[in-house]
Structure 1
Amino acid sequence: MDLNLRKAILENISDNDQSQLEATIVEAIQSGEEKMLPGLGVLFELIWEQSSESDKEEMLNTLEKGVKQSS
């Protein structure tokens, strides 16, 4: 069986509006379940691909701050 996880995740959220997408993200983060990480990765990939260079720089700055605070 060939399972394309990225495709399955995108199909599951394809009809979601902003509030549903936010709920998905919040639930995945709050649950802390490892099985939710691939879905968050696919969502981040979509965000990254649709972002301008300045938005990417801002995300990287925010990510760097978060990483430093977590260590």
Structure 2
Amino acid sequence: MTEKHKYKTIGKVINNEITKKRDAKILDLSIRRIEQLMKIYDTQNMTSFAHHSRGRTAYNKTKP
């Protein structure tokens, strides 16, 4: 599941095309998390749906 897919389905919930419960099943998330994503959708942009540490190397990565 990509952030783009999450963003589109949360948009459908906000536009009343589908319910929170249905979206929770589609994305395999809790209704509470759907509500959190709805807040993010309203206040921030799509890049906020990605995890904050995406693209960074792990802090415990060993050097070859």
TM-score normalized with structure 2 length: 0.32
Larger C-alpha radius of gyration, 1 or 2? 2
**Which structure's relative contact order is higher, taking Cα pairs within 8 Å and 6+ residues apart?**
2
TM-score normalized with structure 1 length: 0.30
